[in-house]
A and B are shown apart, each in its own frame.
Chain A
Amino acid sequence: MSRQGTRGVDPRKVNGELFTLTYGALVAQLLRDYEDDDEVNKQLEKMGYNIGVRLIEDFLARNNSSRCNDFRETADIISKVGFKMYLGITPVVSNWSPAGDEFSLLIENNPLADFVELPPGHNNLNFSNLLCGVLKGALEMVQMDVDVRFVQDQLKGDNITELRLKFLRRLEDAIPVGED
């Protein structure tokens, strides 16, 4: 009877702080191992990429989203469905380039950096660089080659955290048959 309160709660959902703390521990350990911000950024992106190529299947399996034919559609789904589903936030999509191949995700309170104060002397570290890798890996699996990078970070004193996504090309030879 006492367990009734937990019924109806999605068992896949866990406390976000657990994730935040684990991620923090990971970054701290990487900094200790590599002692170089750029190298840490690179490692984080690599890890993120490997997460992204698997996460996309989870995402597609649980959403009935169809293939995007437009980068604006992609931006919408990333912010409103993807971020919502995995991090519980909805970044604002803005700063479109005139060609429509580049946009920014404005993240107001980045859950990955909830408790973080960057120690001095780490101006090159992108604490949440894992996100870049995740986005790149996931989009690559749906045949979009995208460049993702941080341009602003609240941890470094900016007003907002800004992720810039640039569409490079469609990976034509990887498109499965019958998918256009």
Chain B
Amino acid sequence: MAIFSVYIINKAGGLIYQFDHNNTRPELEKTFAYPLNLMLKIYDDKVVVAFGECDGIKVGHCVLGINGITAEGRYLQDGREILEVLSSAENYPINIKFGRQKLSTNEKIMLASMFHSLFTIGSQLSPEPRSSGIELLETDVFKLHCHQTMTGIKFIVIADPRQTGVDVFIKRLYEIYADFALKNPFYSLDMPIRCDLFDTNLQQTIEQTERQGINTV
């Protein structure tokens, strides 16, 4: 349970593969009475909690649904605007579902090319000559491992900080890429990878890696 996601970036910085692994993002549902004790705002076309944390609902969570109707951006599926629904007292009591928004495909592409540039900057800012780019980026809740091959492809693995054996996993990932993406005659180089065999083999390897080791230290 500790490899979160895998990204593959081509020479030019384009995202050619992305995989999220059992990333169950917590969703919280709560019934509210009028007036709402949370401050909501529109951010990036989503309704986001701006202030006021309660019962696990945190600043930055966004509204995923109301009374069982899924949200689409700042509108509900039935076309009503979320903020309007929440501002009229006759709709209360009301049940709202909160959660972290998943990254959209466009956002992932953007982040991938951003990392591509960061990698370059990292290498150029280096006080030592002949430095590689960013190989490991560490935060409280995840570690980002990046491996660049000699041909310029980047394999990025986001894993739990305690996960061991990520280097071996990346090596296996490279082999899987060489086997199941490149040996497929219908796959063209530098294009997004859409191969079922690649997916299944990657998934197996991820599960294997996770079984083998999470450091409990």
- Whether B131 sits at the interface, judged by CB under 8 Å, is yes
User: Which of A53, A58, A62, A179 has a CB less than 8 Å from the CB of B150?
Assistant: A179
User: Chain B residues with Cβ under 8 A from A180's Cβ?
Assistant: 130
Restricting to A46-63, which residues have a CB under 8 Å from any CB of B?
53-54, 56-58, 60-62
Asked if A142 and B120 make an inter-chain contact with CB atoms under 8 angstroms apart, the answer reads no
Asked if B151 and A141 make an inter-chain contact with CB atoms under 8 angstroms apart, the answer reads yes
User: Chain A residues with Cβ under 8 A from B152's Cβ?
Assistant: 174, 176, 179
User: Chain B residues with Cβ under 8 A from A67's Cβ?
Assistant: 150
Asked if A57 and B148 make an inter-chain contact with CB atoms under 8 angstroms apart, the answer reads no
Restricting to B122-177, which residues have a CB under 8 Å from any CB of A?
123-124, 130-133, 148-153, 171, 174-175, 177
Interface centre among B11, B150, B182 (most CB of A within 10 A): B150
Asked if B148 and A61 make an inter-chain contact with CB atoms under 8 angstroms apart, the answer reads no
Asked if B174 and A142 make an inter-chain contact with CB atoms under 8 angstroms apart, the answer reads no
- Whether A98 sits at the interface, judged by CB under 8 Å, is no
Asked if A57 and B149 make an inter-chain contact with CB atoms under 8 angstroms apart, the answer reads yes
Once the chains are docked, how many angstroms separate the CA of A177 from the CA of B115?
13
- Whether B178 sits at the interface, judged by CB under 8 Å, is yes
Main secondary structure of the interface of A (DSSP, over half): helix
User: Which of A56, A141, A174, A177 has a CB less than 8 Å from the CB of B119?
Assistant: A177
Asked if A176 and B182 make an inter-chain contact with CB atoms under 8 angstroms apart, the answer reads no
Q: Across the two chains, which residue of chain B brings its CB closest to A67? A: B150
Asked if A176 and B148 make an inter-chain contact with CB atoms under 8 angstroms apart, the answer reads yes
Q: Across the two chains, which residue of chain A brings its CB closest to B124? A: A177
User: Chain B residues with Cβ under 8 A from A174's Cβ?
Assistant: 11, 152
Q: Across the two chains, which residue of chain B brings its CB closest to A66? A: B150
- Whether A178 sits at the interface, judged by CB under 8 Å, is yes
Once the chains are docked, how many angstroms separate the CA of A177 from the CA of B116?
10
Asked if A61 and B178 make an inter-chain contact with CB atoms under 8 angstroms apart, the answer reads yes
User: Chain B residues with Cβ under 8 A from A176's Cβ?
Assistant: 11, 148, 150-152
Interface centre among B148, B149, B179, B183 (most CB of A within 10 A): B149
Min CB gap B114→A, angstroms? 14
Once the chains are docked, how many angstroms separate the CA of A178 from the CA of B154?
12
Once the chains are docked, how many angstroms separate the CA of A54 from the CA of B133?
24
Asked if B119 and A57 make an inter-chain contact with CB atoms under 8 angstroms apart, the answer reads no
Interface centre among A60, A62, A177 (most CB of B within 10 A): A177
A-B interface, 5 closest residue pairs, ranked by CB to CB distance from nearest? A176-B152, A178-B132, A58-B178, A54-B182, A178-B123
